[in-house]
Amino acid sequence: MFARLLYESFRRQKRRKLLAGVAITLGVAVATAMIAVATDIGDKINRELRSYGANLLVTPQEDTLDVEIGGVNLKPPSDGNFLSEADLPKIKGTFWRNNILGFSPMLPVNVSVDGSGHAQDATLLGTYFARKLTFGKDQFTTGVHSTNPWWRVEGSWPADDSEDVLVGEHLARKLAQHPGDAIDIAGQSHRVAGILSTGGAEDDQVVAPLQVAQQILGKPGAVRRVYVSALTKPEDALARRDPKTMSGALWDRWYCSPYVQSIAYQLQEAIPHSHAEQIRQVAQNEGTVLSRIQGLMLLVTLAALFASALAVSAAMATAIFERRREVGLMKALGAGNLAVAALFFAESTLLALLGGVAGFFAGSLLAHRIGRSIFNSQITIQPVLFPVILAIAVIVTFAGSAAAIRRAVHFDPVFALRGDA
């Protein structure tokens, strides 16, 4: 009898049930898409943000030491402090090596440049462009191609084992240099492979392979600083704690989390006599962007589910009011409040499951569309999301139906049968 009452309810009120089902489907579809994107998009957003540059800086440990007497900083010039180029491949030996997208060493040298009869002092910046390195059995390519993807070159990029250089566009204009020209740097002739445009200080510099800068400086294997681009997790309460105050499981959790601070700590372990720190403006902006995007997705999800609950509430209230005589008859025949509530909650559950299944598949398609159109990548729908979405659909439907069902339970059979309820 219970199953037949359930069946007749859907058969006789197709329009009401359809409206409620559509409301559930739409709300659940939006929730599915937002949850799927939020759970899968963290690394994708982080990779997009990595196009804005490195977020970690490694320098010699001595650079962090300040010596002051009477308020006067007596720290010696830092030009004598260097990292060893031979230690750089060890960066790929850290625990979070797969999160490190690339690194680029820098060695600035003050030089005199002469091109087309125009001479002036400038900075030559030695670095990797796309250097192939090996650590253990792993081979990888790193350099400014990965850490500074916004650099633009008119002409061609120099090879890392060549003597060719890039000339910043501002400096090239002063020296009347073009791709293919020859430029004299510290008394040696070099070919200008291309004109570099970065929008930064490099526009007034010469950028060359690292070995060229080391040769001019007379310090083979020297590196002044290293910029590292790594995928990191936004800061939370644990990330902001001082690791020196941690112990046991808490320290292990911090060390094994891809916080920018924990990756910096591991870089210091990998490179002897080094100090690693986050480029605070970049790292904090990334965390802010990620948090705001996730907050926006949560807000959209809650708004969609709230609208769905309101639509279900309106549809169920109307449907139950139209069935007040049926409820009155059930009570007159001896049905208790629990039996009446069970019938309507069973209807709501079935409606929620049907709408939840339809909404899940519709939301999955929407999530894939968002991934392709915004991030140009595929969104992965985790299997565990399906039961979560069904549970959300049931909760939303119950929340929207509860008031109407409560009213039906308290119908007076006398007034209900007379049509006065």
Q: 155-175 burial, b if ≥16 CB within 10 A, otherwise e? A: bebbebebbbbbbbbbbbebb
Instruction: Give the model's pLDDT for residue 195.
Output: 95
The domain ranges of the chain are 2-46+288-418, 55-230+271-278
Render pLDDT for 330-342 as a digit per residue (tens, 0 to 9).
Answer: 666 556 566 666 7
Quick check: 58 and 225 in contact, CB under 8 A?
yes
| Angle at CA of residue 91, ends 229 and 259, nearest 5° | 55
Q: Which residues of the chain register pLDDT less than 70?
A: 1-14, 16, 41-53, 64-80, 280-290, 321-341, 375-376, 408-421
The Cα-based distances of 280 to 56, 66, 88, 235, 260 in angstroms read 8, 20, 22, 12, 10
Q: What is the CA radius of gyration of the chain?
A: 33
End-to-end CA distance of the chain: 25
Helix (H) or strand (E) holding 222: strand 222-223
Signed CA dihedral, 354, 358, 360, 363: sign only: negative
Q: Is 150 helix (H, G, I), strand (E, B) or coil?
A: coil
How far apart are alpha carbons 178 and 64 in whole angstroms?
40
Using the Cα atoms of residue 152, residue 284, residue 50 and residue 102 in order, give the sign of their dihedral: positive
pLDDT digits 0-9 by tens, 258-267 = 888 899 999 9
Q: What is the pLDDT of residue 381?
A: 83
| φ/ψ (deg, to 5) at 258 | -80, 50
Q: Which helix or strand (DSSP H or E) is residue 229 part of? A: strand 225-230
- For residue 341, what pLDDT is reported? 66
Query: What's the pLDDT score for residue 71?
Result: 45
| Predicted pLDDT of residue 271 | 93
Residue 11: predicted pLDDT: 61
Amino acid of residue 48: E
Angle 299-305-309 (CA atoms, 0-180°, nearest 5)? 140
Give residue 75's pLDDT.
46
Strands 188-197 and 182-185: antiparallel
272/199 Cα distance (integer angstroms) = 33
On whether the CB atoms of residues 360 and 386 are closer than 8 A, the answer is: yes
User: What residues have CB less than 8 Å from 83, skipping those under 6 apart?
Assistant: 58, 59, 60, 105, 222, 223, 224, 225, 226, 271, 273, 274
CA distance 412 to 264: 70
Structural contact between residues 158 and 146, judged by C-beta atoms closer than 8 angstroms: no
pTM over the 0.85 mark: no
Eight-state DSSP code of residue 215: H
Task: Locate 301 and state its tokens.
Answer: 């999800």
Helix axes 280-322 and 324-332, enclosed angle (nearest 10): 70
DSSP code per residue over 118-147: EEEEEEEEEE-SSEEEEETTEEEEESHHHH
Exposed, middle or buried: residue 80 (CB in 10 Å: 0-12, 13-18, 19+)?
exposed
Rounded to an integer, what distance in angstroms lies between the CA atom of residue 360 and that of residue 28? 7
How far, in Å, CA of 337 to CA of 381, rounded?
41
CA distance 264 to 280: 12
